[in-house]
Amino acid sequence: DTAVSQTPKYLVTQMGNDKSIKCEQNLGHDTMYWYKQDSKKFLKIMFSYNNKELIINETVPNRFSPKSPDKAHLNLHINSLELGDSAVYFCASSHAPGTGSYEQYFGPGTRLTVT
Amino acid sequence: DAKTTQPPSMDCAEGRAANLPCNHSTISGNEYVYWYRQIHSQGPQYIIHGLKNNETNEMASLIITEDRKSSTLILPHATLRDTAVYYCIVRVASNTGKLIFGQGTTLQVKP
């Protein structure tokens, strides 16, 4: 059983389009995250939701909008895509921060290519 | 969260122990040391974490110095599948859960 899954795995689109990436976890975790890994392989957190409430919002353009319909899902919608948005996006989940050890479990990633 | 320093790359012979060092000289008393790895094109994978004591699980051992300013991740019998980028991260247990990834150490296990 896949613990953290993302769809799609690959996404190729043109500049200016709007796209969404979906993430689901079946681990019963309360907290979910989105990370971005750029071409230089730096991994950086973008957002985090705890029980559907936004708790981390790094300096990310407001073209990026996360949405958490329930604890098991965290989707990422991107408006007006730009070339610089090309990257691999990882979803992760964990137990709520402050509840002790809360290692994060990552999905397989979505490789977004904007042309 | 405290910063960490890791060597950019290391080699290890298959079957031998891989010892990956990490310096975190500014670590605070309530910060944990976490290790993750990222195998090529996959999502990062949790390995182990610790606060003060040495820790061992089915994947690795974590040795933390008494002053907590450095630690070593030990893969006891490295295999080719352990070739990956290894990240050492320090983090306060009660924070928002944000992981700050550095450049990590690229471990190449060679036959």
CA distance B69 to B21: 11
In DSSP terms, which residues pair with A89 in a beta bridge?
A36, A110
pLDDT beyond 80 at A97: no
CA distance A74 to B79: 35
Cα separations in angstroms, B36 against A31, A62, A80, B103: 18, 29, 33, 12
pLDDT beyond 90 at A51: no
Report which of A59, A110, A105 is spatially closest to residue B41, judged by C-alpha positions: A110
Residue B97 with chain A: CB contacts under 8 Å:
31, 33, 48, 50, 55-56, 94, 96-97, 102, 104
pLDDT beyond 90 at B96: no
Phi, psi of A67, rounded to the nearest 5 degrees: -140, 130
CA distance B31 to B39: 26
* CA dihedral for B10, A89, A97, A99, sign (positive or negative): negative
Find which of A43, A46, A95 to mutate to test the B interface (most B CBs within 10 Å of its CB). A43
CA distance A72 to B36: 23
pLDDT beyond 80 at A60: yes
Is the minimum CB–CB distance between A93 and chain B shorter than 8 Å? no
User: pLDDT tier at A105 (50, 70, 90 boundaries)?
Assistant: very high
Which position has the higher pLDDT, B105 or A30?
Answer: B105
| Nearest C-alpha in B relative to A88 | B41
Is the minimum CB–CB distance between A15 and chain B shorter than 8 Å? no
Report which of B66, B67, B73, B108 is spatially closest to residue B87, judged by C-alpha positions: B73
Find which of B98, B103, B105, B106 to mutate to test the A interface (most A CBs within 10 Å of its CB). B98
CA distance A4 to A22: 11
Is the minimum CB–CB distance between A101 and chain B shorter than 8 Å? yes
Q: Is B97 in contact with A97 (Cβ distance < 8 A)?
A: yes
Is the minimum CB–CB distance between B9 and chain A shorter than 8 Å? no
**Percent of chain A having pLDDT more than 90?**
67
